[in-house]
Amino acid sequence: MRRIDVITLFPEWVESLKGLGVTGRAMAQGTISLHCWNPRDFTEDVHRSVDDRPYGGGPGMVMRPEPLARCIEAVLAEDIAAPVSFLGPQGRVLDHDGVSELAGRARLILLCGRYEGVDERVLQTLVDEEWSIGDYVLSGGEPAAAVVMDAVIRQQPGVLGHEESALRDSFVGGRLDCPHYTRPASWRSRDVPEVLLSGDHARIERWRLAEALHRTRQQRPDLLARYPVSEVERAAAKKLGSEKGA
Ligand SMILES: NC(=O)c1ccc(NC2CCCC2)nc1
């Protein structure tokens, strides 16, 4: 991933992400270039109108096809070809596999709708796919685009300080994350598990694997069905058990 184009009526909303955290740094460094496009810049009328009343009546407004289409075509005219992805509740629900798929692309074009949605003919003629971040309705696609961008950018090599931390994250290999601790070793009478202070990195790794497996079994048995316990996990849990007994 080296370029992300976001089509939005609120470019300042999206631009604000440039200054935040690891994803902000990646964009500030230019590892990822972020380009915002506003359909309002592609209107022809003096009022620069991007929405209009829905045919068939009903509440709210619909995004007009022409300015949106011109905007999308301007985006497509630049740089390499890429699918146009609409963020909407009817789309494929984003999960780790979806993030990996999007992260493998050289370019993302994210279309953010507002109001009641965009004219269906734009979706039929210019949009290639629809992604959803979950089964709920948002007032705009921008929050969903921000989620997609964050999840995808952190997968890029070199973006996170410690590459392996992106690998250990929850959901890699269908596992939730292990518990995390930092100083002080005893806090409000609660101690950090002694294994983490042992300096025995092999044992610490086994403990982390076993904890992640335990949590996944407790919180997300569906993930266990999809990603069965591996030999490494079984061995780690077994060895830990024997050590505990020791
Ligand atoms: N679950 C989601 O990812 C999602 C995305 C966009 C949206 N609303 C947008 C879609 C067009 C007008 C507002 N609602 C929900």
Q: Which ipTM value was assigned to this complex?
A: 0.99
d(CA 28, CA 233): 39
Determine if ligand 1 sits within 6 Å of the CB of residue 144.
Answer: yes
Band (pLDDT 50/70/90 cuts) for residue 241 is: confident
Q: Which of 12-16, 33-37, 126-130 has the lowest mean pLDDT?
A: 12-16
In this predicted structure, which of 78-82, 169-173, 227-231, 232-236 has the lowest mean pLDDT?
169-173
Let me know if 194 is a catalytic residue: no
Q: Which atom of ligand 1 is nearest to the CA of 131?
A: 3
d(CA 24, CA 19): 5
User: Of the ranges 39-43, 104-108, 235-239, which one carries the lowest mean pLDDT score?
Assistant: 235-239
**Predicted structure pTM score:** 0.92
Mean pLDDT (whole number) for 151-178 = 80
Is residue 243 annotated as part of the catalytic site, yes or no? no
Residue 99: partners with Cβ closer than 8 Å, 6 or more residues away = 148, 151, 152, 155
Mean pLDDT across the stretch 193-208? 97
Question: To the nearest whole percent, how much of the chain has pLDDT over 90?
Answer: 81
Q: Check residue 101 and give left, alpha or beta (phi > 0: left; psi -120 to 50: alpha).
A: alpha
How far apart CA 109 and CA 76 sit, in angstroms, is 9
User: What is the whole-number distance in angstroms between the Cα of residue 72 and the centre of ligand 1?
Assistant: 18
**Cβ of 173 less than 6 Å from ligand 1:** no
Whether 89 is catalytic: yes
Does residue 136 register a pLDDT over 70?
Answer: yes
Question: Residue 113 gets which letter from DSSP?
Answer: P
